[in-house]
Amino acid sequence: MGFRFANVAGRSSLVDDAGDFYDLERMTGGDISADPEAALADLDALSAAQSRLDDMTPFGTLDGADIRPPVTPRNVFAVGLNYADHVAESNMELPTAPLVFTKFPSCIVGPNADVELRSEHADYEVEVVVVIGTGGRDIAAADAWDHVLGLTAGQDISDRALQFAAQPPHFDLGKSRDTYGPLGPTLVSPDMFADATDLALSCSINGEVRQDSRTSNLIFSIADLIAYLSSIMTLAPGDIIFTGTPDGVGGSKGIFLQPGDVITSEVEGIGTLTNRCI
Ligand code: ZN
């Protein structure tokens, strides 16, 4: 048994299949810390608590709760052009190595935060996000999943004009404006999924589906990405990796986010992010 974790109003919580949450410090009489980083340091305790949820009374439902990012990341890696259909819509060549850039951690916000556009060229990208649990260097792809704390969902909001304002392009700045990194709503351990390498992900704008794919379509798999990044630098607990977005982004059609637009992003088993553009 694994766990489905959420940060509700700054407090460690677990989430059941119905989307109700349970405050970990209160349900365990203080055995598990209310501090998310401390709670995520003992995964066995989280799994044991998750298995007891059926006998507990929920503290509330995630709908309408103050959900914060499940982790406060150290490094935020992101991968461009990691779905073949998105490579095609971008008129680019298939990459021969992962195209890695950074989102600065200061852009990370909760799963239902407003996105401050500050640009006429802001675009959406739904992604599955990997959270590293056990760090390491030179991690073999075959061992990579042992280093994964869990999976969450993210929006890699991108200012396309800023992203390509310089040559070579500076992806890092174009994807790191304040609020450009919604993350959540839950952080789910790999063993909670029937197949953690094949998750549906989708994104709608004002209810119209724009992106709809599965992570089994990734060019470089989660294991490949961990092996690649750890061959360059030591990965540490709390590092996160945005794994790439499928086709259907607005920029390739010249359509950009407008104030008032609502971005709804969903990943199977993880939940929904709802972000209003202001
Ligand atoms: Zn992206």
Identify the CATH class of 76-276: alpha beta
CA 233 vs CA 18, 135, 140, 157: distances in Å: 39, 10, 13, 26
For the segment 172-203, what is each residue's pLDDT rounded down to a tens digit?
A: 999 999 999 999 999 999 999 999 999 999 99
pTM of the model: 0.98
User: pLDDT tens digits for 143-152?
Assistant: 999 999 999 9
Band the pLDDT of 1: cuts 50, 70, 90. Answer: confident
Note residues around ion ligand 1 (Cβ under 5 angstroms).
125, 156, 245
- Please give the Cα distance from 12 to 70 (Å, whole number): 9
In the predicted model, what is the mean pLDDT of the chain? Answer: 97
Ligand 1 center from residue 1 Cα (angstroms): 31
Q: Count Cβ atoms below 10 Å from residue 166 Cβ, excluding itself.
A: 10
Could you tell me the distance, in angstroms and rounded to a whole number, from the CA of residue 195 to the centre of ligand 1? 22
Centre of ligand 1 to C-alpha 125, Å, is 6
Percent of the chain with pLDDT over 90: 97
Domain boundaries, the chain: 4-68, 76-276
Cα(127) to centroid(ligand 1), Å? 7
Going from the Cα of 101 to the center of ligand 1, the distance in angstroms, rounded, reads 9
Model confidence over 30-74: pLDDT tens digits? Answer: 999 999 999 999 999 999 999 999 999 999 999 999 999 999 999
